[in-house]
Chain A
Amino acid sequence: MISVLAARVQGAAATAPHGGGQADVLDVLLWVALPYVAIAVFVIGHYWRYRYDKFGWTTRSSQLYEKRLLRIGSPLFHFGILIVLLGHVGGLVIPDTWTEAAGISEHAYHVAAVTLGTAAGFCTLTGLAILIYRRRTVGPVFSATTRNDKLMYAVLTLVIVLGLAATVAANLAGGGYDYRETVSPWFRSVFMLRPDPDLMADVPILFQLHALSAMLLFCIWPFTRLVHMLTAPVGYLTRPYIVYHSRDERLGARAPRRGWERLP
């Protein structure tokens, strides 16, 4: 895979349409290398964290300290970000040819996406603002905030602000920006292992910054409290109410851990 990737990168660099090799190297770094680094850190980081730090894998809820502001801010933020997430899946993963085939015109899609996205984005941002205000002003909550949390809040806020700014700015400036012709194909190309940095080269700067900050967020994600998202308890809907576990495995039911094998 790496050799294929290297070949693609070289190819992309070599067949750059507009000279100026340095900018292309930067493009390749930002839109080919960085995404794979982010994906690798995200996946391996989560595996590693789950393997070695299950105890730290928690929401670290602070509801016990304060619940008045949390009751407004937290649902606002979480439901907002869930809609934003769905919007990103719709916008980035589903090609525009599919929606058109389904009879949704580009204009209709755009209007729906911008309206819903902006509304959800503002909900998210308002919720986040309430939560950060709460975190800073409520003494016990602030005491329970680690440096790790502060970094995570900073990056998360940056990503959301940039994303919302990109949408709002593009629509205020004129008919909006059709990211489904550039950003989305690039996003899919990364996952199809044929990354095409050229698609991202001429994207408006706010969209570029949003994508870059998101990759930064994915890099720190596994090492922050954001991990709780990956264990969203959807399994609760189907599991039996009462869980029974045996005290522990009987001898021989499971391969012993390394170093604890029985002597022959």
Chain B
Amino acid sequence: MRVMAQMAMVMNLDKCIGCHTCSVTCKQAWTNRSGTEYVWFNNVETRPGQGYPRRYEDQEKWRGGWTLNRRGRLTLKGGGRLRKLLTIFANPKLPSLDDYYEPWTYDYDTLTNAPLQEHTPVARPKSLISGKDMKISWSANWDDDLGGSPGLEERDVVLGRVAEKVKLEFEKTFMFYLPRICEHCLNPSCAASCPSGAIYKRTEDGIVLVDQDRCRGWRMCITGCPYKKVYFNHRTGKAEKCTFCFPRVEVGLPTVCSETCVGRLRYIGLMLYDADKVLEAASTPDEKALYEAQLEVFLDPHDPVVIAAAEREGIPRDWIEAAQRSPVHALINTYRLALPLHPEYRTMPMVWYIPPLSPVVDVVRDTGHDAEDTGNLFAAIEALRIPVDYLAQLFTAGDPAPVDAVLRRLAAMRSYMRDINLGREPDEGIPAKVGMTGEQMYDMYRLLALAKYDERYVIPPAHAEQAHKLEELATECSLNYEGGPGMGGWGPFGESSGGASPIAVENFHMLRERQTADRSADPSDRRARINLLNWDGKGRPAGLFPPRRDEPGGPDDASPGGDPPAGAGTAETEPRP
């Protein structure tokens, strides 16, 4: 037994209202930079829907994750090492920007600087890739709230697998939201696909990170990840991915997406697992048995044998205690409520989901029945095969039994707690129907409904003797002279050279520059480069718009001697009357 600790997350999908606060705050914290405009470490998908990037779950097309070869051994679905090296010059399975979307900003400047005219000036969308006018046709959540509507439903990969039943019961349409971050898998196929070995799993907490100094931009990780949660920064030429907000987690704070979650649906905690069993579990022949196999990998943090083994492996005592109090462990192992996303990819994902009961509840309520009665709910779970089959395709490789069991437990809790809330005698028969006691059910209810901040996030801090290096401190950077990489400039070879300055530092300088500058920012200066989120409409940044035909380099042309933008046409930016 080789005990390792893994920082893991559980999301309760019943509580997600699809507000995208997690996505926005994550973007502000991590990918509010040029080159990462299209990068969403956290995104919220409407289900049924295509997801982001479009149809990423179609592994017959994208070849992400692992598969079993003819001899039953685990291999990368995208091909082995030699194949990776032979296709390194042009990765045939790399999603293009069309599969994500072309990022854009708006020509806000026109709104304030347009001359007096009959019609109100408009801010036209400008591509952040080519700088030209563009027609917006897709984005990271373009099909938001359109779940299952005609024209979109056939493009959902998961729905395709349950399609026949859907055609029969399509009027009982349903919808829910699925927030996604990197899964920080126990068996990460992105790391296995990286030719340089730049993607690594941290031994202490299992967070999967990209070493920006070792990444050479071979792009194989993007293909390797079946969740398409590794992105390519097209400015620096390096892969970037969700970091599980490691600078925050190291000091005991939850990730930004969890911290800002309006529905408080995220739980963070430690899982102890046996690293020696991971490969065997991931090689389980039957896809539907992968969920159970992954449960077998987890260790019981209360077991004295496990505790002794963990201590031998150098896991600190407070970490073991945190694993015992872990809400994630409770939801995954104790209550068996949480399920992994797409276990059939065989990466052993570590961000799990409590499937939503609400589609079922909604149907029961809409038909005029009591939606808090166990009998009605149980009957509905059985009758409404679409939600269950669909959820099973997402969470258990198509096996409806575990999803069914989870929904029954949630339904039972709903009925049981209603009696308590109304001051009636609780019916102990309800928890018994799902194999629980009343006390267990109440504890489960507490964790799902009432758990406070310190119960939802049980994050042991990293150890103080390492404190200096944990935060992105500028004191260790030898390049933080004015304009140097440490101060947000580039190294000696221009763009993308020099040290990777900490994101906090880059954002700080960018904001300061923008707030104190008396002219608009110049895109050739990284500290102040315009991107999707930070252009404030001041001036006409060079390179963002084509030059005006009538006044080349006119009075309001703020470009300080920069090159004219590439492929600049003579498109007129002034609105016609």
User: Looking at the complex, which one of A55, A247, A248 makes contact with B496 (CB distance below 8 Å)?
Assistant: A55
Is B94 a contact of A67 with CB atoms below 8 Å? yes
Q: Does B304 contact A (CB under 8 A)?
A: no
Instruction: Give every chain A residue within 8 A of B204 (Cβ-Cβ).
Output: 246-247
Instruction: Give every chain A residue within 8 A of B203 (Cβ-Cβ).
Output: 244-247
Closest B residue to A138 by CB, please name it: B567
**How far apart are B185's CB and chain A's nearest CB, in angstroms?**
9
Instruction: Give every chain A residue within 8 A of B97 (Cβ-Cβ).
Output: 64-65
Q: Does B213 contact A (CB under 8 A)?
A: yes
In Å, the complex CA distance between A251 and B212 comes to 23
Closest B residue to A48 by CB, please name it: B492
Instruction: Give every chain B residue within 8 A of A242 (Cβ-Cβ).
Output: 187-188, 191-192, 201
Is B200 a contact of A244 with CB atoms below 8 Å? yes
Instruction: Give every chain B residue within 8 A of A234 (Cβ-Cβ).
Output: 85
**How far apart are A254's CB and chain B's nearest CB, in angstroms?**
11
**How far apart are A258's CB and chain B's nearest CB, in angstroms?**
9
Q: Does A260 contact B (CB under 8 A)?
A: yes
Q: Does A233 contact B (CB under 8 A)?
A: yes
In Å, the complex CA distance between A250 and B462 comes to 12
Instruction: Give every chain B residue within 8 A of A251 (Cβ-Cβ).
Output: 465-466
In Å, the complex CA distance between A247 and B211 comes to 12
Which A144-194 residues sit within 8 Å CB-CB of chain B?
144-148
Q: Does B303 contact A (CB under 8 A)?
A: no
Q: Does A98 contact B (CB under 8 A)?
A: no
Q: Does B90 contact A (CB under 8 A)?
A: yes
User: Looking at the complex, which one of A74, A147, A243 makes contact with B494 (CB distance below 8 Å)?
Assistant: A147
Known pairs A143-B567, A244-B203; A59 contacts B81 (CB<8 A): no
Closest B residue to A73 by CB, please name it: B90
Is B565 a contact of A143 with CB atoms below 8 Å? yes
Instruction: Give every chain A residue within 8 A of B495 (Cβ-Cβ).
Output: 146
Q: Does B92 contact A (CB under 8 A)?
A: yes
Known pairs A64-B96, A147-B494, A247-B204; A139 contacts B567 (CB<8 A): yes
Instruction: Give every chain A residue within 8 A of B215 (Cβ-Cβ).
Output: 58
**How far apart are A16's CB and chain B's nearest CB, in angstroms?**
41
- Pick the most buried of A61, A223, A231: most chain B CB atoms within 10 A of its CB: A61
Closest B residue to A234 by CB, please name it: B85
In Å, the complex CA distance between A244 and B4 comes to 11
Instruction: Give every chain B residue within 8 A of A78 (Cβ-Cβ).
Output: 89
Q: Does A47 contact B (CB under 8 A)?
A: no
Known pairs A60-B217, A233-B216; A74 contacts B85 (CB<8 A): no
Instruction: Give every chain A residue within 8 A of B201 (Cβ-Cβ).
Output: 242-245
Q: Does A142 contact B (CB under 8 A)?
A: yes
Closest B residue to A257 by CB, please name it: B476
Q: Does B129 contact A (CB under 8 A)?
A: yes
In Å, the complex CA distance between A78 and B91 comes to 13
Is B202 a contact of A246 with CB atoms below 8 Å? yes
User: Looking at the complex, which one of A63, A65, A70, A71 makes contact with B129 (CB distance below 8 Å)?
Assistant: A65
Is A236 a contact of B91 with CB atoms below 8 Å? no
Is B197 a contact of A239 with CB atoms below 8 Å? yes
Q: Does A56 contact B (CB under 8 A)?
A: yes
In Å, the complex CA distance between A79 and B217 comes to 18
In Å, the complex CA distance between A55 and B234 comes to 14
User: Looking at the complex, which one of B192, B211, B213, B236 makes contact with A241 (CB distance below 8 Å)?
Assistant: B192
User: Looking at the complex, which one of A58, A243, A246 makes contact with B217 (CB distance below 8 Å)?
Assistant: A58
Q: Does B499 contact A (CB under 8 A)?
A: yes
Instruction: Give every chain A residue within 8 A of B92 (Cβ-Cβ).
Output: 71
Known pairs A237-B82, A251-B466; A243 contacts B238 (CB<8 A): no
Q: Can you spell out 17 A-B residue pairs with CB atoms less than 8 angstroms apart?
A: A55-B485, A56-B491, A63-B91, A65-B234, A70-B90, A140-B129, A148-B493, A231-B216, A233-B197, A236-B84, A236-B194, A237-B81, A242-B187, A243-B201, A246-B202, A247-B204, A260-B476
Please list the 4 inter-chain residue pairs (A to B) with the smallest Cβ-Cβ separation, ordered nearest first: A56-B497, A233-B195, A139-B567, A241-B192
Question: Which residues of B are at the interface with A, using a C-beta cutoff of 8 A?
Answer: 76, 81-82, 84-85, 88-92, 94, 96-97, 129-132, 187-188, 191-192, 194-197, 199-205, 211-219, 232, 234-238, 250, 462, 465-466, 469, 476, 479, 485, 491-500, 543, 565-567
- Extra 20 A-B pairs, beta carbons < 8 Å, given A143-B130, A246-B202, A251-B465: A52-B491, A53-B492, A57-B213, A58-B236, A61-B237, A63-B96, A67-B94, A75-B89, A143-B543, A223-B493, A228-B217, A233-B195, A233-B197, A236-B84, A236-B196, A242-B201, A245-B211, A247-B205, A247-B250, A247-B462
